[in-house]
Amino acid sequence: MLPAALRRAAIPEAVLEILQRLGEAGHRSWVVGGAVRDLLLRRGRVGDFDLATPATPRQVTALFPRVIPTGIEHGTVTVLASDRRTVEVTTFRGDGAYQDGRRPDTVTFHTDLDEDLARRDFTVNAMAWDPLAGELADPFGGQRDLAGRLIRAVGDPAARFGEDGLRALRAVRFAAQLGFRLHPATRRAIRGALPVVRKVSAERIGEELLRISAAPHVARGLELLAATGLLELALPPLGGWTPAQRRHAGKVAAACPVDPGAPQLRLAALLHPLPAAEVAPLLEAIRLPRKVGEEAAALVARHECPRQTAPEDPVARKSA
């Protein structure tokens, strides 16, 4: 039976039009990934609706008047929908070897939905929904793990993290965003994948750390980064922090409001135990904009964060 959250879900008419056109051409297609997860969690507005299809990129391109070949070598094209939104449509595929720790060297297109879901990172992201037929495909227990508040790798966690080093940081990020735990086997596998994480570009690491810093459960994210060895790898100056320092930094960061236009606020709250002179170089090393690093460093130097704070926060006490 289709879960109630999906039965009641509102899906943009333009997305339904794309699914209908693909279906009429003989290519039953599905909403996949984060949209399905977030709808099942009733997280409110869903931003992107990504689709998976047995149609090849060439077949998809032939069906729609406006298509951008954004990642065509890996089976992804972007359809410009009737409401001007962009919708990524990706062909069911199998991945070859991962030599660079980020992307497969080769991909093979096929028509098997379960095989396509098997290559994904975590069970909560490996579900597919056909809103036209009212069917949810969940071959790896994503609903079970949503109910259990678990982030669990699909299949062998060591294999998943060995393919793509960014997945280890994504595991922590999802735990910090959703307030979930890491499944024990998934958590253990992260430390063994640290050599693969080192292959990931500083820019991509910075993007994930920025999302973790802005997450509702940033303190949990910080503890997971430390417990898995990711903290010392990604932010070496923080690797020597004591558990008490991490708990304090996480508590201060969680108390600081999130401003998407000013990430330096949360970053300054998180990094305030560091000497101010270390903050800008640290953030520049993970390729965050220089202005963000400089402003975060200035906030740390002044021990200020514009927020309501708990009495035990020394940042607030000094600025008061």
Please check the confidence at residue 208 and state whether its pLDDT lies above 80.
Answer: yes
How confident is the model at residue 100, as a pLDDT? 66
The torsion region of residue 189 among left (phi > 0), alpha (psi -120 to 50) and beta comes to alpha
| 187 has pLDDT over 70 | yes
pLDDT at 318: 37
Q: pLDDT tens for residues 31-73?
A: 999 999 999 999 877 878 999 999 999 999 999 999 999 989 8
Instruction: From the options 3.40.120.10, 3.30.460.10, 3.40.50.2300, 3.40.50.300, give the CATH code of 1-143.
Output: 3.30.460.10
Mean predicted lDDT score pLDDT of the chain: 91
* CATH architecture for residues 149-234: Orthogonal Bundle (1.10)
Q: Do domains 1-143 and 149-234 have the same CATH topology?
A: no
CA distance 303 to 320: 10
What is the torsion angle, in degrees rounded to the nearest 10, for the CA atoms of residue 145, residue 151, residue 154 and residue 159? -160
Percent of residues, the chain, with pLDDT higher than 90: 83
Residue 165 has pLDDT above 60, yes or no: yes
pLDDT computed for residue 103 by the predictor: 73
Task: Name the residue with tokens 């949360």.
Answer: 266
Q: Which two tokens stand for residue 297?
A: 């460093």
Alpha carbon distances (Å) from 119 to 174, 234, 274, 298: 18, 26, 40, 44
The span from the CA of 187 to the CA of 285, in Å, is 26
Nearest Cα to Cα of residue 288 among 202, 227, 221? 202
Q: Where are the domains of the chain?
A: 1-143, 149-234, 236-320
